[in-house]
Structure 1
Amino acid sequence: MLTLSGAKSAAASAARGRRFSFNWPLLAVIALALSGCMPATTQVAGADPADPAAKVAPVGYRSTIAPYTGLRPATPAPWRDRNDAVAPQPKQDR
């Protein structure tokens, strides 16, 4: 892609009669390559994270299953009583 844009700009500058043209895609590639040489972290406002004496917020613990109550083992109820409790009531008009 960069070769194609470089060839296009060279052809355009040759058609206009100029000998020197600034190659913007090449500049972008150079800037990107040099940005890899920059340090990964910079000093921001606040304490150094590597300082063991730095003040930090206290850590709290909240259980994710705190309201849980176990329902097993449960004593089984007679199955006919449980079935009759959830079955639809028969119609009385028939």
Structure 2
Amino acid sequence: MLTLLGARSAAASAARGGCFRYHWPLLAVIALTLAGCMPATTSLATADPADPAAKIARVGYRSTVAPYASLRPAVPAPWRERNDAVTPQPKPGQ
């Protein structure tokens, strides 16, 4: 794909007199490719792992079952009272 992009750019450049502005897609692809090869420059990446005073990211623990509350055994409520509690009230005048 990169070869095809370069060939199209070269053909367009040759047809229009060799102007620099037709090479920008190829230059952008090359710049993005080279940017992915750059080393990380964060302070955590350069810290020595043997140094006990080196700063590290905090590690947190969050349980996946912490909000769980068991509902068994549950005593079933009478169904008629539960049904009447959620039934819409009749409008006055009907």
**TM-score, normalised by the number of residues in structure 1:** 0.46
**What TM-score do the two structures reach when normalised by structure 2?**
0.46
Higher gyration radius (CA): 1
